[in-house]
Amino acid sequence: MTTKLCVERLVERARGMLRNSGEFDLATLQRTFVLRANDSLVSQLGPGLIAAARAAAPGVRLRFVAEGEEDVQPLRDGRIDLDLGMIDLPDSEIVVEQRLAAQPHLVISRRGRTEAPFDAVLAERGLSRDVVAVVPTPTAALNMVLASDLVCLTTSGFAARVTDVRPLPVPADLPLRPMAQAWHPRFAKDPGHRWLRARVRDAAPTG
C-alpha cells in the first residue's frame, strides 16, 4: 500500500470521527459510499438506493464494486463501506423435479462450486442434475441462458427484471439463504452511514 493511500484513509477515518461528533445535515452531505455486492443485488437494490440518495442526499454518490473473495479486510481498511450478500417437495411434484433435473444446468458461484442447496433437495429424492457450466455472476448466467437451452436457478427478484426468459417456480422448498449487510464498527454511529444502512433495509426485497 502506498503512503498516499495510507494518508487518504487516515484522513477519511478522522472525518468519520468528526461526523460522529458533529451535527448532521443529510441535505448537505458530500460523500461517496462504496458498496460491495453481486450484480443481482445491485440490480435489485441499486435503483431504490439511488432514488433515495437523489431525493434526500443529492451530494451522496454510490459506488458499487463487484464481489471478490469473502474478505473482511476491505471493510477494515476503508476500501468499502458496506458488504452486501450472504453472510455464511410433495410426492406429486417428483415428476416435475425429474423434468427439471434432466435439463442441462448452469450454476452461479463466484467460488466455482458446482453444488448448491438444490442438489441436496434432489438427492433426497434419488435425483441429480447435469451441471454443464459454472459462472461467477447472475448477469453472466443470464447472457448464457439467453443464448442456449440451459436452465439456471436464481432469485425471483432478479428473474422478474428480465423480459426475455421464462421464469418457472422451483418445485421444492429450498432452504433460505440469509442476506445481510456488514460494516466496520467505526461506522456504527456515523449518521451518514446509518442513513445508508437504513435505505438498504428499505430497498431489500422481503419475499
Q: Is domain 3-87+179-203 classified as CATH 3.40.190.10?
A: yes
Arithmetic mean of pLDDT, 92-104: 59
Write a three-state SS string for 70-135. Answer: CCCHHHHCCCCCEEEEECCCCHHHHHHHHHHHCCEEEEECCCCCCCCHHHHHHHHCCCCCEEEEEE
150-174 per-position pLDDT tens digit: 888 877 777 767 767 777 767 666 6
User: What is the pLDDT at residue 89?
Assistant: 31
3-state secondary structure (DSSP) of residue 153? coil
Single-letter code of the amino acid located at 65: V
CATH architecture, domain defined by 95-160: 3-Layer(aba) Sandwich (3.40)
CATH topology of 3-87+179-203 equal to that of 95-160? yes
Give the pLDDT score at 15.
54
Cell of 65: 464494486
Q: How far apart are CA 165 and CA 160, in angstroms?
A: 9
pLDDT of residue 24: 77
Question: Domain spans of the chain?
Answer: 3-87+179-203, 95-160
The set of cell numbers assigned to 8 is 487518504
Counting every residue written for the chain, the total comes to 207
- Indicate the pTM of the whole model: 0.54
Residue 92, pLDDT above cutoff 60: no
Q: In 10 A of CB 182, how many CB atoms?
A: 13
Tens digits of residue pLDDT in 74-88: 888 888 888 887 655
List residues bridging with 86 in a β-sheet: 179
